[in-house]
Amino acid sequence: MRPRIVFRTHYQVDEPAYMEFLIKLCTSPVQSSYREVVAEKLAREITSRGRKLNVAAGGYAVDLAQGLDLITPNNTWSEKGHLVNLIADIEDGELENQLKLTLSEKLVHFRIFIEADGAAFLFIVRRLKGCESLTNSDLTWNSWAKDMFVEVYSDYLALTSNTADRVELRRDIERIGSRGYDGNTGSHKVFIHMQTLYRLGLLSRPEAAGTRSYQLPKQSESGKRGLEVLLDEVPDVISLERVIETHKWLELAVRVFQITPESYCKNTDEVSVDRTLTLITPPYHHVISTGVPLCSLSTLIESVQISLISRTSLFLSFDDALSLIVAAQKERPKEIRFHVDRRGQPAFIKLSDDILKIYAS
């Protein structure tokens, strides 16, 4: 079992928005590319916008994108890479404006990081609840990095029964626990987690452009801060695994970001096939237009979920969305086709040209 914490990181690539640049400007959905080529493209894009980023750091960004499951080992887009492409927008102008995330971008990054890095989030909120703030110090970052990886790996060691995984986790725990980190290694290891939580609005930085200092934001009107809600809802890695396996990340996000939906889409009988196709066809067409032959159902559903909650305050669960698509497929089986995974469950979707002509615009 893979611990949900990203390991290959660098302090220069601590901005989650850099992953948007990497997907939309530096990689392809269908054409593989060398790591060095992608790193150079990203370094050039960021540097042209006025911020320092060398090619070596760009290489770490490629590693981070793979760790977040945004790109494949061949550096083409994964299903989550397509999701980023559907949701994120990159415009010309000041880089700082690009680094600030819209609500839809916050949701897509929350979805990505909670799966790949959720255990690190839990560690951080538990520590910050005790001290409220964390001020820049190499000694502090090195100590945090050591404690974070040892604690997260230990949690997963207690959870997994796979022999190979247990051997590897024990080896990592012993290595990190005995050696620790020194110099600015801790900064490399910690900043991506802290800065992502800051960009999500779940941590604050008193001096955003100055000394690295993070703290829990002020109490909200409800009396609970977002990260405290996260810890209430997901107190341990077992709960984290359950949320991810059951596709309940949006339910969690709504509570963490304290979004109040204006309506809920619960009764699938009240949603027509026409309405379903109106929702899914535009993002489907966007994905297919990149040159891939099939569209991932999870990518399609999650893009619709994010668009609905961020633009219209309508909450649609993953299970209800899937039920809507399955119902539409049963009614129009020749125009809506599923491709199944190894377990025989629908995993990809193919829409007919006739549907695209009517609903794609």
Read off the tokens for 246: 């059951």
pLDDT of residue 223: 74
Picking from 16, 64, 14, the residue whose alpha carbon sits closest to that of residue 39 is 64
Segment 204-221, tens digit of pLDDT: 988 766 677 888 888 766
The Cα–Cα gap between 285 and 227 comes to 36
Q: Where are the alpha helices (DSSP H) in the chain?
A: 17-26, 35-48, 55-67, 79-87, 95-99, 103-131, 138-159, 163-179, 185-199, 226-233, 237-245, 249-256, 273-288, 297-311, 318-331, 353-359
pLDDT values of the chain reduced to their tens digit, one per residue, 361 residues: 799 999 999 989 999 999 999 999 999 999 999 999 999 999 999 999 999 999 999 999 999 999 999 999 999 999 999 999 999 999 887 898 899 999 999 999 999 999 999 999 999 999 888 775 676 666 688 999 999 999 999 999 999 999 999 999 999 999 999 999 998 899 899 999 999 999 999 999 887 666 778 888 887 666 789 999 999 999 999 999 999 999 999 999 999 999 999 888 765 566 789 999 999 999 999 999 999 999 999 999 999 999 999 999 999 999 999 999 999 999 999 999 999 988 888 999 999 999 999 999 7
Residue ranges matching CATH 1.10.10.10 in the chain: 263-359
Please tell me the predicted confidence (pLDDT) of residue 91.
85
Cα 92 from Cα 184, distance rounded (Å): 32
For 201: left if phi > 0, alpha if psi spans -120 to 50, otherwise beta; the answer is left
Residue type, 254: V
* Stated pTM of the model: 0.95
Assigned token pair, 82: 């397509």
- Three-state DSSP class for residue 316: strand
Sequence letter at residue 271: V
Answer CATH for 263-359 from 3.10.20.30, 2.50.20.10, 1.10.10.10, 3.30.365.10: 1.10.10.10
The Cα 342–Cα 338 span in angstroms is 13
User: Residue 32 has which token pair?
Assistant: 């593989």
User: In angstroms, rounded to a whole number, what is the distance separating the alpha carbons of residues 228 and 129?
Assistant: 8
State the DSSP code for 77. B
* pLDDT tens per residue, range 107-158: 999 999 999 999 999 999 998 887 756 766 666 889 999 999 999 999 999 9
Longest alpha-carbon distance in the chain: 63
193: tokens are 């987690």
pLDDT recorded at residue 222? 64
